[in-house]
Structure 1
């Protein structure tokens, strides 16, 4: 099968390209740069450009499209609405021209009308996919961990190493169920030929749930450090976060704060009933992630 992967140069895309190729499929690596690993065909693609997207994808003639493009922080030119909603609409238009199988990466917690613009935009994109008339699968991954990830390898690492004490928002009891990048790549790849995934929205979460404070403790343990934790009351954070937004690069955005307080957990059973996943544990990978 000829498979086009948007956002192929990203963390998930890089792992997914290898998995899809090893499964025997022909891979077209679409990204803003158009670069591709040796042996793969690259395609320069900006999904926020409607004309470019339609022309480039239809010319490539994929039988399936795996749409991964997404952003965590907004910039002046790259907003959640423009990338997640308009970008998905542009890719779907090309997919409909080709009647291509469509596999979409959303996010656990996606919901239209959510206070978080990130989750709201992801929810809007899901509705576009569901109403496209295409054969689709939507995956909603939780925090994805693996060598090269940004959250465990960068954000949490910085949080536990930057100061003499580790700041914890509120009680630190927000629940999370991180999922291994290998399981995410396997799920997307298996969905290409698994009819049981068609017209399904599946949560991709790991085998174990952690509180936010437990994740901080795991980071400290993997780094072989011991530090006291300082709990910042939620009312104080509710006041401080909006004030931080005047900074050019705030340490936490309004959307990130809303998503943190909401937690990010789900039920692994539906996906594991349909897909053959290893369900690897965070503790197994964290030392390697922090060395990457």
Structure 2
């Protein structure tokens, strides 16, 4: 009897060329899915090709602000993953346009082709937040659930891993500066989560192994203050630096100047976000909307940071304790 081979599911990943995206694409490729990466600059997505087999990963042009490009990108999709988000506004890239309007556009496009949807938001998202970033993230979640009630929504805390914009940034500063700033005294509580664990959670939702219609909060196994995060990072790169407390008002003055740059290191909206803790809520824990419900044990920063921050040590690649590649 002739065996009929089924074509692997097609997964469209919006924002798949970014930091989180490359890990999601890798996790999906390992499962054998066909992957279409929808991004604004597909010509800059060549780094994704080695993550899968020949022709398994296909970058296509799409802009969430342009509805027809979103509709075109999802044609034939079995599942859609939305990773699109911005940390600061610039030009036409506004929080509302990308994280609210864009989220609805992707959800409506996915519904039109009968595809499932996994939407990645952010811990701290709230329609009542003073932060435009957090507020539009929450509005995006609302738009998604109104459009596809059984969508899976993830709210990860600060993602860390190779190429992250958090520990790498401060480690680079520590290599050059004798001191590091602690905004508001560094007392804000964070729950850094390994990007590989977030990617695995997303892949499991594509597998159909995660209950939809819920908002899951994804945080690492340990809650740390901003100051403790800096201390952990400095211990890994083996450098001693002064940690200087920076009052919020001074941070806002600096942010007002820095946000005038094309790629600001700090904005007033980010200062607003840092004034609130970024940890998994008690409600999510009680209701089973965390990694535990997905069957994933998140990894610690102590287990992961040395694997990529070794390059910031004084001896760099020649450090005898550097993990093998």
TM-score by length of 2: 0.82
CA RMSD of aligned residues (A): 2.0
Q: Is the 8 A contact 1:96 1:134 kept in 2?
A: no
Matching of residue 74 in structure 1 with residue 89 in structure 2? yes
Q: Is the CA contact (8 Å cut-off) linking 1:102 and 1:134 kept in structure 2? A: no
2:273 is the counterpart of 1:254 = no
| Count of aligned pairs between the two proteins | 289
Pair 1:181-2:195 in alignment: yes
Report the CA distance between 1:244 and its aligned residue. Answer: 4.8
Is it true that 1:147 corresponds to 2:162 in the alignment?
yes
Q: Establish whether residue 126 from structure 1 lines up as the match of residue 141 from structure 2.
A: yes
**Between 35-44 and 168-177, the greater mean CA deviation after superposition:** 35-44
- 1:16 paired to 2:16: no
1:260–1:145 Cα change, 3 Å? same
Indicate the residue corresponding to 2:4 in structure 1. Answer: none
The Cα shift of 1:203 comes to 0.4
Residues 239/73 of structure 1: CA separation in 2 closer, same or farther (3 Å cut): closer
Match of 2:314 in 1: none
Aligned to 2:321: none
- How far apart are 1:195 and its partner, in Å? 5.3
- Residue 136 of structure 1 pairs with residue 151 of structure 2: yes
Structure 1 residue ranges (4+ consecutive) displaced by more than 6 angstroms after TM superposition: none
Q: What is the aligned counterpart of 2:63 among 32, 46, 53?
A: 46
Structure 1 spans left out of the alignment, 5+ residues? none
CA distance in 2, matches of 1:149, 1:249: 16
Please say if 1:264 is aligned against 2:278: yes
Task: Verify: 1:233 aligned to 2:251, yes or no.
Answer: no
1:27 maps to 2:41 = no
TM-aligned CA deviation for residue 136 of structure 1: 0.2
Partner of 2:206 in structure 1?
A: 192
Which residue of the partner structure matches residue 180 of structure 2? 166
Deviations 1:142-173 (A, max 9, x none): 0111111111112x224434432222122211
Which residue matches 2:78? 63
If you compute each CA radius of gyration, which structure gives the higher value, 1 or 2?
Answer: 2
Q: Could you tell me whether the CA contact under 8 Å between 2:74 and 2:80 is conserved in 1?
A: no
Contact 2:11 2:33 in 1 (8 A): yes
Q: 1:9-66: per-residue Cα shift (whole Å, max 9, x none)?
A: 11111111111121232222222223451432222211211122113322xx101101
How far is 1:134 from its partner? 4.6
CA distance in 2, matches of 1:248, 1:90: 27
